[in-house]
Amino acid sequence: MRATILHRPGDIRFEEREDPKILAPTDAIIRLSATCVCGSDLWPYRGIQEVPGPTPMGHEYCGIVEEVGRDVRTVKPGQFVIGSFFASDNACPHCKAGYHTSCEHREFVVGAQAPLLRVPLADGTLVATSEAPPKELVPSLLATSDVFGTGWFAADAANVKPGSVVAVVGDGAVGLLAILSAKHMGAERIIAMSRHEARQKLAREFGATDIVTERGEEGAARIKELTKGVGADAVLECVGTQESMQQAIGAARPGGFVSYVGVPHGVQLQGQDLFFRHVHLHGGPAPVRHYLPELIDLVVEGKAEPGKVFDLTLPLEQVAEGYRAMDERRAIKTLLQP
């Protein structure tokens, strides 16, 4: 097959690679219906994260099960399935606590920007839909695999409840779906921090009630101003930089909640600052598997359309252009069709 390989920062190639095979008896091979480019793929693409050598890319996926290992019990060939970027056993104490991305047997899924993908721990990782979905639902189902689940975790980890005043830092696909998630959880007011017109529009469509264009300390001050000096109940940090984290912490009320769901790059927090700000802090790699059944239902029942974040659709072989468009912020998120 031909698949996506990152050779060096900026150098994405769609090239020949061996077809994936069942390696462990708990593996499944799926034929992808759709895949996409993640904001986190841009870290190595931009050279901010090291590229150790030619690296198969992609960890968001949905598709039809092609083959399963001999120990796979619940997943069957022919089923339409969705899984998370971390394979999990769905059985260990961490999975039972809802933290599948800290599973004792977790394994990162790699190489999803391809026609075929090996998924480890298939029973614990994949969730099947009751029937093959109509084509128009595929983008939204693909979104549950990572970006919607991550936005949902951002809202959940920040304790968003009916009536909450929420601020979202970051207008990438995760930030936008954090808005959609907060709306579904009953937030009364959702302040989106964005300077980008197309993203502001989608933010409003997903449920944002206010837009703040200021950043950093000014952004935090503006949130305070909008909340009568109090600050937001919940701030969802969906970027992962020092500036965005400080902005999020500064925008929360004392006793408020800050969640962070983008891998922090070079973020350092001062204990004494956090202490006197009185914020709750929680984040990490989103335990998407925990939320998958609920999110798939929302999509299948037509209650949420997270696939709207895909504003560029390309044939898989044009994956390099998909990266470029996101890197240059011409696209929010690129869907790739194998």
What residue ranges bind a copy of itself (CB under 8 A)? 93-94, 97-99, 101-102, 104, 228-230, 240, 242, 245, 253-255, 260, 263-272, 274-285
Tokens describing residue 91: 């059985």
- CB closer to a copy of itself, 286 vs 336: 286
Closest to a copy of itself by CB, 1 or 269: 269
Q: Nearest-CA neighbor of 320 among 14, 116, 61, 49?
A: 14
* Smallest separation (angstroms) from a copy of itself to the CB of 234: 13
* 59 versus 94: smaller Cβ distance to a copy of itself: 94
Taking the least distance from each CB to a copy of itself, the nearer of 184 and 253 is 253
State how far the alpha carbon of 201 is from the alpha carbons of 10, 25, 210, in Å: 30, 47, 11
Supply the minimum distance, in Å, between the C-beta of residue 207 and a copy of itself.
24
- The amino acid occupying position 148 is F
Alpha helical stretches, state H, 67-207: 93-96, 122-125, 138-144, 147-157, 173-184, 197-206
What are the backbone angles phi and psi of residue 78, rounded to the nearest 5°? 95, -20
Radius of gyration over every alpha carbon of the chain, rounded to an integer in angstroms:
19
Report the candidate in 136, 163, 166 with the shortest Cα–Cα distance to residue 151: 166
Q: Which is nearer to a copy of itself, 272 or 303 (CB)?
A: 272
CB of 235 to a copy of itself, least distance (A): 14
Q: How far is C-alpha 185 from the chain's CA centre? A: 18
Residue 146 CB, shortest distance to a copy of itself, in Å, is 16
Tokens read off for 233: 């109940």
Q: CB-wise, 156 or 305, nearer to a copy of itself?
A: 156
Least separation, in Å, of the C-beta of 26 and a copy of itself? Answer: 21
Query: What is the smallest separation between the CB atom of 295 and a copy of itself, expressed in angstroms?
Result: 19
What are 102's two structure tokens? 């800290």
